[in-house]
Amino acid sequence: MAAVEPLVRPTWRGELALGFAAAQRGTVVARRRHVGPFCIQRPFYPGDGACHVYLLHPPGGLAAGDELVLDVDVEPGAAALLTTPAATKFYRSDGSSSVQRQTLRVAAGAALEWLPLDTILFGGSRALIETDVELEHGARFIGWEQLSLGRPLSGDCYATGSLEQHTRIAVAGEPQLIESLRFGASDRVRDAECGLASFGVCGALYAYPVQDSLLIRARAHLGAATPSPTVPPERARLRCGATLLGELLVVRCLATEPESLRTLFEELWHELRPGVIGRDPSAPRVWRT
């Protein structure tokens, strides 16, 4: 009897390149190229002066060997807001890593808001996430990253798996932030007080340019959202901090559930948007559907 060849699942590679430009009627998607299952809906214009775009990935997640690549250019005078209609999921992998890469470039006089919904790492997943943000002097930017380890309500406590995450933000070619996060599901960093402190959700929010007055307002908002000192750390639902690196605001947060982190970051975005982007808050409709 002939040997049975093992089934090999084909991998997906999705690529999406977008160019935003200022036009007489406002910001438009001037360039668009996609390969594979990665595309956008038609842009939305809710009246805040920005072009709102929803990134679509029909497969719904990334399995072993899948790759999702996003490349964005925002030209002078343009204003774009990018978000997703659903969380990004990294499924269990018995082989190679699942890869997500995004490169975001913002010119002087342009504004970009990178506000995807959270990323869920399924137990057994092998995730590689790379984000590179290139800002020119005079650019404006707000972005965030949100990670959920496992799906506790479904019994998935992320007992196995690994994550490698790299984030770089530069202004005029000069790095303002370079961070790398690497751990396996059983590593001590998950429980260490200097690491994830047993929280299952973590995230960071970035904004540029920010002055001391906005940092004070952000810290005040974080203080109102987090428990008082009388609440034991093990009962805290959120643990947050904010710092200013030059003019780059960095807010880091640990949470017990993704909804708490998402709500906090949305509130911070409302607080920061007028001062950073120069526009009143206008939340994407997809966040409430």
For residue range 156-168, what is the model confidence (pLDDT) as tens digits? 999 999 999 999 9
Q: What is the pLDDT of residue 4?
A: 46
Residue 49, in any domain of the structure: yes
Residue 94, in any domain of the structure: yes
Residue 3, in any domain of the structure: no
For residue range 159-197, what is the model confidence (pLDDT) as tens digits? 999 999 999 999 999 999 999 999 999 999 999 998 999
Residue 217, in any domain of the structure: yes
Yes or no: say if 223 and 240 are a contact pair by the CB < 8 Å rule: no
Tell whether the model's pLDDT for residue 232 goes beyond 70: no
Residue 258, in any domain of the structure: yes
Interatomic CA distance for residues 247 and 65, integer angstroms: 37
Total number of domains in the chain: 1
Interatomic CA distance for residues 28 and 80, integer angstroms: 9
Q: What is the pLDDT of residue 6?
A: 47
For residue range 85-120, what is the model confidence (pLDDT) as tens digits? 999 999 999 889 999 999 999 999 999 999 999 999
What pTM, to 2 d.p., does this model score?
0.92
Tell whether the model's pLDDT for residue 277 goes beyond 70: yes
Phi, psi (deg, nearest 5) at residue 264: -65, -45
Segments forming the whole domain that contains residue 95: 13-284
For residue range 39-89, what is the model confidence (pLDDT) as tens digits? 998 999 999 999 999 999 888 899 999 999 999 999 999 999 999 999 999
Residue 46, in any domain of the structure: yes
Tell me which amino acid residue 177 is. Answer: L
Residue 1, in any domain of the structure: no
What is the dihedral sign for C-alpha 207, 282, 262, 146?
negative
Residue 2, in any domain of the structure: no
Interatomic CA distance for residues 69 and 55, integer angstroms: 12
Q: What separation in angstroms does the CA of 121 have from each of 114, 157, 189, 277, 281?
A: 20, 10, 17, 31, 30
Q: What is the pLDDT of residue 285?
A: 86
Tell me which amino acid residue 95 is. Answer: G
Higher pLDDT, 13 or 266: 266
> Which residue has 């999705």 as its token pair?
14
Yes or no: say if 153 and 119 are a contact pair by the CB < 8 Å rule: no
Tell whether the model's pLDDT for residue 151 goes beyond 90: yes
Give the burial class of 171: count Cβ atoms within 10 A of its Cβ; 0-12 exposed, 13-18 middle, 19 or more buried: buried
Q: What is the pLDDT of residue 287?
A: 87
Phi, psi (deg, nearest 5) at residue 246: 65, -115
Q: What is the pLDDT of residue 146?
A: 97
